[in-house]
Amino acid sequence: MATTACPTGIAHTYMAAEALENAAKKLGVEIKVETQGARGAENQLSKKDIEEADAVIVAAATKVDLSRFKGKPIVEVPLQEAIKNAEAVLQRAIELAKEERAHKKETAQKVPKKSDEARKSSSKDIIPVSSVSGAYRHLLTGVSFMIPFVVAGGVLIALSFVFGIHAFEKEGTLAWALMKIGGGAAFKLFVPVLAGYIAYSIADKPGLAPGMIGGFLAVDMGAGFLGGIVAGYLAGYLVDYLKKVKVPEYLSGLYIIFVIPVVSVLVVGLLMVYVIGNPIASVTTALRNWLNGMSDMEAAAFGFILGAMMAFDMGGPVNKAAYTFAVGLLSENIFTPMAAVMAAGMTPPLGLALATTLKKELFTEDEIEAGKAAWILGISFITEGAIPFAAADPFRVIPSIMAGSAITGALSMALGIELRAPHGGIFAIIMPNVVNNPLAYLGVIAIGTVVTALIVIAVKKYTRREVTSS
């Protein structure tokens, strides 16, 4: 059995599942993969499935409930590991299952069997758990729950601008209603949701209330998404500590239902109000002032970094860090980083699609087919469309697309292009008033696409000649 999950849930989740299924066919192994994507859990593992499983593979960048796999050998790996080395992951799961059966047979009457945690630890010693681990995994869990609020709210805000930049100011109009739903509701909730689910990832359900309340206070005090992130971690680790406090059995119910929520909300709330909130609000204000006051060169350098991050792992942790940062700034009415991030996230698949069109002889048949899909994925701002190319040829493709995306991000920031929607690709760009300079923005994306394609083609041709000559 296997389960896959990623923060966005639109590409990596399903690519990892497909890779594991293909590897299982090759190895002659039966596998069932549950995907926890944007559509929710699909192909769910039943209790019977888990009971009959020899081992469980968990390929996830967000929190996955492992309690239902109690008693089973577990192999935890990064999503990228499952995508790139699915056979190795399956082989390790097979070996672990064999070791478990042998252990049970030899020591059934002599030695207590390994605990579930010990089995899990032994698997981690051989295949590293995700590079997305610990504190960062908690952040990505929060981001995964935040994204629907951001996307829905951002698109509704963008739709309100279709009627004019200031049309929403007239109460009772459709533009006013769209702004009220998108900006007055969805956008006000995304920081509390981010904070709440960071805490949830750390401390499970008891962390949700103090995390969300801390996030709400962060918004109320002007601490923004940075304050929300701090509140989420604070609430999560506080509740995690409180859960470990030993109390008499007869008080355990009261402690869980009453003491933990009241104490955690009180402590987090007081710390946000009297200690943390105002300093973070000052940092947020300083960040906003710095971003608004950047020179063209500074803006270009900043965009260069954001662009490179978007292409580095194509929807992975580094990509999500840049995207989360840009989305957080939307709530501060700073729109240029969002434009840079989206453009830089579109050019990797678009550039590779163009390269496969211009120089088919440099690519395999599978890559040429992937290039056709990459056109659609690219214009939709789904950077993961570049992954098949990067997985097949990482040392040439990844530096090439990073260079193209870095140039794209730098141009977008230097030109002061603003984007008010957090997603949508070409479909957001064509909406009136969503981008302050749509023609320049399309030009930047076109330049980035061409640059990416030319670099990929040049690198592949050059290295091919080097190999041939040697």
Burial of 117 (0-12, 13-18, 19+ CB in 10 A): exposed
Q: Are 30 and 86 in contact (CB under 8 A)?
A: no
Query: Residue 19 corresponds to which tokens in the numbers above?
Result: 């890779």
How far is C-alpha 61 from the chain's CA centre?
8
Instruction: Specify the DSSP class assigned to residue 248.
Output: -
Interatomic CA distance for residues 133 and 60, integer angstroms: 10
Interatomic CA distance for residues 196 and 55, integer angstroms: 32
- Tell me the residue type at 311: A
Interatomic CA distance for residues 404 and 378, integer angstroms: 14
> Closest Cα to residue 393, out of 372, 369, 362?
362
Q: Are 319 and 310 in contact (CB under 8 A)?
A: yes
Cα-based distances in Å from 126 to 83, 88, 123, 407:
18, 11, 5, 39
Return the beta strands (E) in 395-459 as ranges. Answer: none
Q: Are strands 33-37 and 2-5 parallel, antiparallel or unpaired?
A: parallel
Three-point CA angle 438, 424, 410, nearest 5°: 55
Active-site option among 1, 5, 6, 11? 6
Interatomic CA distance for residues 25 and 37, integer angstroms: 23
Interatomic CA distance for residues 95 and 236, integer angstroms: 36
Q: Are 433 and 375 in contact (CB under 8 A)?
A: no
Collapse the DSSP code of 459 into the 3-class scheme (helix H, G, I; strand E, B; otherwise coil) and give the result.
helix
Total residue length of the chain? 470
| Residue 407 a catalytic site member | no
How far is C-alpha 128 from the chain's CA centre?
20
Q: How many helices (H) and strands (E) does the chain have?
A: 21, 5
In the numeric block, the tokens 């995690």 are attached to: 240
Give the strand order in the sheet containing 74-77.
Answer: 40-42, 33-37, 2-5, 56-60, 74-77
Cα-based distances in Å from 226 to 251, 268, 336:
37, 15, 18
Write out the catalytic residue numbers. 6
